[in-house]
């Protein structure tokens, strides 16, 4: 499998795990030194982000990809992903589902010990 196909598959698996609150999968995908800058500017590390998923503070009911581009570098040991996703965040005050669109960039590195791991994630809200 090519690096690009592998990372595309990993990105889909990552978002599926976020929706399912599959913490063991996310634990394996996220590097110990992960830095995640949310669309509101808040920054999490691996431990605080996993805790926010476990508590329900970070909630994803559904994630649909609008675009996904992967570029491989450094002899296929680094991958940069640019994506645009539509996230269902659960019911709003009116009981109807709320959605947000997020443009994001993530960086994966491949190590001999852990395979591909996400080290950097930056998100930005987009107009509906």
Mean per-residue pLDDT, 88-93: 78
- Domains of the chain (ranges plus CATH)? 3-126 (3.10.450.50)
* Helix or strand (DSSP H, E) at 72: strand 62-73
Mean per-residue pLDDT, 63-73: 96
Instruction: pLDDT band for 105, please (50, 70, 90 cuts).
Output: very high
Q: What are the beta bridge partners of residue 123?
A: 104
24 φ/ψ angles, rounded to the nearest 5 degrees: -60, -40
Q: What is the pTM of this model?
A: 0.92
pLDDT in tens, 8-21: 999 999 999 999 99
């Amino acid at each position: 499998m090519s690096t690009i196909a592998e990372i595309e598959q990993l990105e889909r698996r990552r978002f599926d795990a976020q929706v399912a609150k599959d913490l063991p999968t996310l634990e394996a995908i996220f590097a110990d030194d992960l830095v995640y800058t949310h669309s509101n500017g808040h920054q999490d590390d691996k431990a605080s982000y996993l805790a926010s998923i476990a508590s329900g503070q970070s909630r994803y009911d559904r994630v649909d990809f609008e675009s996904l581009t992967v570029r491989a570098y450094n002899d296929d040991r680094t991958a940069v992903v640019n994506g645009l996703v539509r996230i269902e965040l659960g019911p709003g005050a009116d009981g109807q589902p709320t959605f947000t669109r997020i443009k994001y960039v993530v960086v994966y590195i491949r190590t001999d010990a852990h395979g591909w791991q996400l080290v950097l994630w930056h998100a930005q809200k987009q107009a509906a």
